[in-house]
Amino acid sequence: MKYVFAVLLVSFNYFSSCSQNAPRLDNANIKSRFTKIERMISMRDGVKLFTAIYIPKNTADKQPILLQRTPYSCQPYGEENYLPQLGPGKLFAREDNIYVYQDVRGRYMSEGSFEETTPHIADKKSDKDVDESSDTYDTIEWLLKNVSNNNGNVGMYGISYPGFYATAALPNAHPALKAVSPQAPVTDEFEGDDVYHRGAFYLMDNYSFTNSFDYPRDTPWKSYPRLCNQQITDAYTYYLQMGPIKNANKLCFNNKSKIWNEYLEHDTKDAYWQARDIRKHLQNIKPAVLVVGGWYDAEDLFGSLKTYEAIEKQSAKNNTRLIMGPWTHGAWARSNWTKFATSDFGLNVNDYFQKTEHDFFNYYLKGTGSFDAAEATVFETGTNEWKQYAAWPPEQAKSATWYFQNNYTLSFTKKNTNGVDEYVSDPANPVPYMETKGAGRNNEYMAADQRFASARKDVVSYESPVLQKDITLSGPITADLFVSTTGTDADFVVKVIDVLPDTTVDVNKKNIGGMQRLVRAEVLRGKFRNSFSKSEPFVPGKITEVKYELNDVAHCFKKGHKIMVQIQSSWFPLVDRNPQKFMSIGQAEESDFQKATIKIYHDAKYPSALKVLQID
């Protein structure tokens, strides 16, 4: 996502400069090959945006323009100061493209006012109607007219928030914009990216991000101070002691953060979030598009999958491909990625991607080489293999249902059993998202051992028999639960887990036999079970269907493993605490938080289950 966790993200570099964490070269080499100029480019409403332009000194051939727009600064500022690497990855290092970096409206050295994921204006009636599509259009128009020796073609890329700006350039795109790669793009911040997940507020990430990002400014400047300098060593304890999230303003923000207050004020998918859902505008897309995402992306896995899906559904003649790998947020920009957590992939998966990315831009911007990537290229965890499909989800994937049964078992066939399991969810003792303590969010939670959760009384676990054959999932997972609660609201966290055989060892030859390795998990704030825009309370004690979609997976549960599904009602401090009382949680007092007894039903009338897509 957008979050700035220097010690926990793949790298801080792709947030703090426009180099996108690319490999480092000798700065003198860039200076010897490029001339850097800085310009304030006027948009149609008169606002000027700071733009750094690197022009090749070699003018033998006309070159395309590669553009990145960012809210994270185009430093180093000054025409005498050069980035150590240009372009999205190491394979661009020796190419004489025209590289352009721009501070977006209202950030760093650009003029204007910043808007969180700027709403798109489809029907612009005057030059005062501006958005990221129009700012990109105006920037491209200026570059084509004022930067000599360009070949008339423009490409655009970006990871995370810059990925949003890449996506936002697609509606009504400039005719010269030929190739765009939104990578882990922020897409819908209420349903699945960054701020809320299925209506549940991502506390830890947003608190840290806001502190680093949203200090108010009156004029363009080169750096942003933090809103406060709190020291966190144990995030679980820190956020629990903070109490209700309304206390964050006393503790840190002092009402200086515009976006934090907006986040809490707009706690349903109201007009604020609906205007910021770029998906509905991804119609009749003309440029070639390469959407990139990571299965272990804690920030914007939803954004990658849903951006691709939206283009496919709304642009009949689109030229869009999807690549999903075993990456954390932006890890594909690193030189090497061979392992993650306790998994060893057996190869540097970035070699494959970076060649594909390089071929994509060269083919569509220069007309050189070839680009023959499949419609969907996904890395299948479990088998650790790249798979190519003609569609995503794959056409050969078939629907299957996994049923919860008595004695906490998971069955692949429906049986006539009558059962109910229950647990007590206590906001004063929420389920941690990780067993280990840390200062901020640890990416490894997306593949972490869940045995610590299985041991808790407020988590229920359903486990299959030992698998007699491989089971491969390719696509989304839908949780279909029949529940009741003694409260009027509740969160539901569903986890899909690969239980490893007793003899398994990890990448460091450590025995991890019996590990319950997380494959996918997602949360739903229960009051949004029927609509994200209109919340509704639970009736205490009434059996109610709660059905929601988890993000896609491409994973093979190997023969000899077992499959486990866990259900719980807190995931802290990744997600803020639900008082389990129907109300605006941003206004909750400590006295509003209450215990609730949650029941999961599994019988012929109420068959709680997971709906999956399997490939035989």
List pLDDT tens digits, range 403-426: 999 999 999 998 877 899 999 999
pLDDT value of residue 2: 61
Distance separating alpha carbons of residues 445 and 510, to the nearest angstrom? 19
Q: Looking at the structure, tell me whether residues 178 and 299 fall in a common domain.
A: yes
Quick check: helix, strand or coil at residue 451? helix
Task: Tell me whether residue 324 is in a domain.
Answer: yes
Give the count of domains, the chain: 2
CB 364 within 8 A of CB 288: yes
Determine how β-strand 596-602 pairs with β-strand 419-425.
antiparallel
Whose tokens are 């005719």? That residue is 175
Q: Looking at the structure, tell me whether residues 301 and 419 fall in a common domain.
A: no
Q: Looking at the structure, tell me whether residues 370 and 457 fall in a common domain.
A: no
Q: Looking at the structure, tell me whether residues 454 and 409 fall in a common domain.
A: yes
Which one, of 314, 300, 4, 364, lies nearest residue 164 by Cα?
Answer: 300
Distance separating alpha carbons of residues 372 and 563, to the nearest angstrom? 36
For residue 374, is pLDDT > 70? Answer: yes
Task: Tell me whether residue 546 is in a domain.
Answer: yes
Q: Looking at the structure, tell me whether residues 403 and 371 fall in a common domain.
A: no
Question: Which of these three, 338, 361, 389, is where a domain ends?
Answer: 389
Between 513 and 1, the higher pLDDT residue:
513
For residue 11, is pLDDT > 50? Answer: no
Going 573 to 574 to 580 to 583, the CA torsion angle's sign is positive
Q: Looking at the structure, tell me whether residues 431 and 545 fall in a common domain.
A: yes
Range 185-207 average pLDDT: 97
Q: Looking at the structure, tell me whether residues 324 and 415 fall in a common domain.
A: no
Task: Tell me whether residue 228 is in a domain.
Answer: no
Question: Which of these three, 389, 423, 448, is where a domain ends?
Answer: 389
Distance separating alpha carbons of residues 60 and 225, to the nearest angstrom? 44
Task: Tell me whether residue 164 is in a domain.
Answer: yes
In tens, the pLDDT along 277-295 reads 999 999 999 999 999 999 9
pLDDT value of residue 94: 86
CATH number for position 18:
3.40.50.1820
Q: Looking at the structure, tell me whether residues 178 and 315 fall in a common domain.
A: yes
Q: Looking at the structure, tell me whether residues 434 and 365 fall in a common domain.
A: no
pTM of the complete model beyond 0.85: yes
For residue 516, is pLDDT > 50? Answer: yes
* DSSP run (H or E) holding 553: strand 544-557
pLDDT value of residue 28: 75
Which one, of 99, 102, 6, lies nearest residue 55 by Cα?
Answer: 99
Distance separating alpha carbons of residues 516 and 501, to the nearest angstrom? 10
In tens, the pLDDT along 63-98 reads 999 999 999 999 999 999 999 999 999 899 889 999
pLDDT value of residue 10: 30
Q: Looking at the structure, tell me whether residues 481 and 579 fall in a common domain.
A: yes
Cis peptide, bond prior to residue 393, ω within 30 of zero: yes
- Burial pattern 206-216, b for ≥16 Cβ within 10 A else e, equals bbbbbbbbbbe
Q: Looking at the structure, tell me whether residues 433 and 538 fall in a common domain.
A: yes
Q: Looking at the structure, tell me whether residues 429 and 488 fall in a common domain.
A: yes
Question: What percent of the chain has a predicted confidence (pLDDT) above 90?
Answer: 91
Alpha-carbon separation of residue 42 from 79, 263, 434, 576 (angstroms):
19, 31, 48, 42
- Burial pattern 587-606, b for ≥16 Cβ within 10 A else e, equals ebeeeebeebebbbbbbeeb
Which one, of 330, 377, 381, lies nearest residue 497 by Cα?
Answer: 381
Task: Tell me whether residue 274 is in a domain.
Answer: no
- For residue 303, the enclosing domain spans 13-188+284-389
What is the tally of helices (H) and strands (E) in the chain?
12, 25
Task: Tell me whether residue 270 is in a domain.
Answer: no
CB 223 within 8 A of CB 548: no
Task: Tell me whether residue 202 is in a domain.
Answer: no
* Partners of residue 497 on adjacent β-strands: 518, 564
Distance separating alpha carbons of residues 144 and 137, to the nearest angstrom? 11
∠ CA 606-612-616, nearest 5°, is 130
* DSSP conformation class of 301: H
Distance separating alpha carbons of residues 222 and 109, to the nearest angstrom? 6
CATH number for position 415:
2.60.120.260
Listing DSSP states for 123-182 in one string gives S--STT---HHHHHHHHHHHHHHHSTTEEEEEEEEEESHHHHHHHHTSTT--TTEEEEEE
Task: Tell me whether residue 334 is in a domain.
Answer: yes
**Helix-strand-coil percent breakdown of the chain, rounded to 5?**
20, 30, 50
Question: Which of these three, 333, 368, 389, is where a domain ends?
Answer: 389
Whose tokens are 């008169």? That residue is 46
Range 285-314 average pLDDT: 98
CB 70 within 8 A of CB 2: no
Give the contacts of 591 (CB within 8 A, at least 6 positions apart).
none
In tens, the pLDDT along 436-489 reads 989 999 999 999 999 999 999 999 999 999 999 999 999 999 999 999 999 999
